[in-house]
Every structure is written in structure tokens, then in C-alpha cells.
Amino acid sequence: MTSETGIYKGGLCPANHESAGKQTRRGTRKGNPYLKATLVTAAVCGARIKGTYLRDKFHRLRGRIRAVQRCRIGCIDAALSLILPLMRSDVRRLSARGGSRAGQCLTFEAATGSEVAVAAFSPLLDVLAEVPDPRRAEGKVYKLPHVLLFSILAIVAGCNSYRGIITFIDVHRRRLNAAFSLKWKRAPAHTAIRHILQGLDPAGMETAFRRHAALLQAARSTPGQGSIALDGKTLRGSFDKFHDRAAAQVLSAFATNTALVLAHIDVAEKSNEVPAAQALLAELGLARGAIVTLDALHCQKNISRLPQPPTSP
């Protein structure tokens, strides 16, 4: 969380309501009323106390800006810039003691941390090592398999941004170095993580995750007849009105007996789930007699038979 994010969530950012180039309404964005009241009260009180940084900040802004409310927002931004680093340091100390969710995700009890980590993640690291690296060959400080693995762990721990991934790696850097025999002196920059993740080949990542899911399925499956559930989902926020592109749809294959997602496939923009399901079943290569559940959309005569995977000449 940054100072800009705190101001945005507090409902202190100016709203921009325009239609056909005309501004229809002025005001602020909707935010948390309790956070807004706390931030405004802190800014007002800080600006009234003599000899404080916020009072000097308020008067410096007041000499250039006439609106008092904007000067107070500037004081709120300055206060958040001072408070947030202290909060992050407290989070790091709590995480090192195992007092937070992020600190407990890599805490091992009886066994040695490096032994547990290497044994648990070595198959996934081997699979991620086969993913093509989008970076050039020179100057690779951070290995791609470990970057991808730590990004996955950060997302599982609750991080949902590039900066969140960096915070997770920075907090657990020493523990990760000891567990995976690394010598990282610092966490990579969030721009480096963004460049790596955005430059990955989606087909290569899908192949790697399918191979890892197949290993887990073979290890966890029990004797008996399970079923494969196919279901399509629309990715929230994936539409692009500027380029007139609809939201992306993904069809997933879910193993009900092991609760594992075996594969994904993209649904074409001008198509539906029917051809995508046929292609996904052919790629999975299910054995004859396997039970597959689908939506009523797939109840058609010409697709009642299971497609066969393509044979090489």
C-alpha cells in the first residue's frame, strides 16, 4: 500500500465524470468513510500543532494553493509517506517471528526447513526450469525457476500485485536463501518481476503446469473411477473497450477425485465452449470409459463421441 492508494481508498481523490467531453459532476470518489475521517482528522490536527512537519508542509502548500482542502490532502500524503514505512518494518518483524499469515507460510516445525522446501518444491522447480526464459542470456542475477516459484508462493500467501510479490520476497529473503541454497542479497525490483512475468510464453507456462498437474494427479489419485468436470469462466477485468475486445473466457478441466485443475484452454473470441471442450479433451488423452461432466450446452449429437488425440504420421 502506498500513500496514493491510501488517499484513493479514503475517498479523497477527485472524481472524473465525463461524457462526450463534458464534465457532468464534480466531487470525490467513493471510499471508506472511516478511513477518510481518520485521515482528515489527522491532517487537521497535525497542521494546527506548532513546530511539526505537517504544519510546515501545510503552510508551504498554502502559499501556492488557495484551496484549504487540497492543502490538507497534501498533508495526508506526507503523513502516509511517514507512517507506511514504519508499518512495513513492523510487518517484517512480525513475519520473522511467525506472527502473520505470510510469516507462517514458510515455517516448518520438526524437520529442517531446507529439507522440507527442497523435497516439496523440487518437482515444481524441475518443471519450471523447462519454461523458456524471456530475458537475454547475459546478466541473469535471479534464476527464472526460483522467481516463478516465489511469485506463486507470494500469490498463495495473499499478494495480488508486483509490489506485493517483492514485499513477500524481501520479508522472507533470508529464509528462502537458506531453504533453497541461494545467495540473493536483495529482492528483485517490481519492474523486473513485471518484465519477467509479462514476457513469459503462455503456451510454455500452460505446458509446465499441465505436466506438474499430471504428476500430482498420478501421486494423489486413488483406485476407482473419478470424473473430469469441464467448466468455463470469464476473467474479470479482462475486457478492453478501447480496442473493442470482449472479456477473455477460459475453459478448465477439474479432477473431482483429487481436487486438481488439470488444464486450461482459451475460448476463441467469436466462438463458444463446444469446440474448446473438444480440443481440451483431445489434448488430455483421457482413457475410454472416463466420466466427463459438462454443461447442457454440450448436449449435441455431432459431439457425443470422445475425440481422439491426433496421431503422428
Question: pLDDT 10s per residue in the chain (313 long)?
Answer: 565 666 655 666 655 555 555 655 555 666 677 777 777 787 777 777 877 777 777 788 877 777 777 777 777 777 777 666 655 555 455 455 444 444 444 443 434 444 445 567 888 888 888 999 998 888 788 999 999 999 998 888 888 888 888 888 988 888 888 888 888 888 899 899 999 999 999 888 888 988 988 888 888 777 666 788 888 888 887 788 887 888 888 898 988 888 888 888 888 887 888 888 888 888 888 777 788 888 887 777 666 454 555 555 5
List the chain domain ranges: 3-96, 103-198, 224-303
CATH of 224-303, one of 3.30.420, 3.30.70, 3.40.1440, 2.80.10: 3.30.420
Residue 92 three-state SS: helix
| CA 102 – CA 91 distance, rounded (Å) | 9
Task: Answer yes or no: are the C-beta atoms of 31 and 10 closer than 8 Å.
Answer: yes
C-alpha dihedral, 173 to 90 to 12 to 34, nearest 10°: 130
**Entry pTM:** 0.56
What DSSP assignment string belongs to 155-217?
A: HHTT--SHHHHHHHHHHTHHHHHHHHT---SSPPPHHHHHHHHHTS-HHHHHHHHHHHHHHHH
Is the distance from CB of 201 to CB of 132 less than 8 angstroms?
A: yes
For residue 224, give every residue at least 6 positions away whose Cβ sits within 8 Å of its Cβ, in sequence order, or none. 257
